[in-house]
Amino acid sequence: MPSYATVLRSFLLCTLMICAAAAVAEENVYQIDALNVGLGAPPDQLDRSSPHATMEALLDLADAKDFTTAAHLLNLATVPSTQQAAAGPQLAEQLYALVDRKVVISWGDLLDRPDALDATATTKSAVAGQTRRSILLWVLEIDNRPYPIYLDRVQVKDQAPVWVFSQRSVANITKLYDTYGPSKMERKLPDWARQNGFWNLMWWEVIGLPVMFLLSIIGGVTTHKALTRAAATAKRDFSKKIIEASRLPIVTFVMTLIISIISGIFVFSGPISALIPPTIALGYVIAALVFVVNVVDRIIDRIIEFDNDDLQQINDDHRRETATKVSLVRRMLIVVIVLLGFGIVLAEADVFRTFGFSLLASAGAVMLVLGFAAREVLSNIMSSMQIALNQSARIGDNVVYKGHICSVERINFTYVLLRVWTGVRLVVPVTEFVSETFENWTIRDPHMKRLVEIHVAHDAEVEELRDVFFKVIDEVEHEDLGDRDEHEVRVTGQDVFGQIVTFCVTCNNPNTSWEVSCEVRERLIKRMQDMESAGTRVFPEVNPAEGA
Chain segment 208-225, per-residue pLDDT in tens: 888 899 999 999 999 999
In angstroms, the CA 116 to CA 109 distance is 9
Confidence tier at 495 by pLDDT (50, 70, 90): confident
85-103 as b/e: b if 16+ CB within 10 A:
bebbbebbbbbbbbbbbbb
Question: Can you give the C-alpha Rg of the chain in angstroms?
Answer: 40
Closest Cα to residue 205, out of 278, 269, 279, 274? 269
Instruction: Please tell me the predicted confidence (pLDDT) of residue 318.
Output: 60
In angstroms, the CA 505 to CA 472 distance is 11
Instruction: Please tell me the predicted confidence (pLDDT) of residue 253.
Output: 93
Q: In this model, does residue 16 exceed pLDDT 60? A: no
Pick the CATH number of 448-547 from 3.40.50.720, 3.40.50.300, 1.10.1200.10, 3.30.70.100: 3.30.70.100
Instruction: Please tell me the predicted confidence (pLDDT) of residue 272.
Output: 74
Q: In this model, does residue 52 exceed pLDDT 50? A: yes
Q: In this model, does residue 355 exceed pLDDT 50? A: no
Instruction: Please tell me the predicted confidence (pLDDT) of residue 424.
Output: 85
- Are the C-beta atoms of residues 364 and 124 closer than 8 Å to each other? no
| Three-class SS state of 464 | helix
Q: Where are the domains of the chain?
A: 30-181, 192-300, 304-444, 448-547
Confidence tier at 45 by pLDDT (50, 70, 90): very high
Per residue in 267-299, pLDDT tens? 777 667 767 888 888 888 888 888 877 777 777
In angstroms, the CA 507 to CA 509 distance is 6
Average pLDDT, rounded, for the chain: 79
Instruction: Please tell me the predicted confidence (pLDDT) of residue 3.
Output: 59
Environment class of 83 (CB within 10 Å of its CB; exposed 0-12, middle 13-18, buried 19+): exposed
Q: In this model, does residue 342 exceed pLDDT 50? A: yes
In angstroms, the CA 321 to CA 408 distance is 12
The arithmetic mean of pLDDT across residues 12-31, rounded, is 57
In angstroms, the CA 395 to CA 320 distance is 6
Instruction: Please tell me the predicted confidence (pLDDT) of residue 73.
Output: 95
Confidence tier at 359 by pLDDT (50, 70, 90): very low
Confidence tier at 345 by pLDDT (50, 70, 90): low
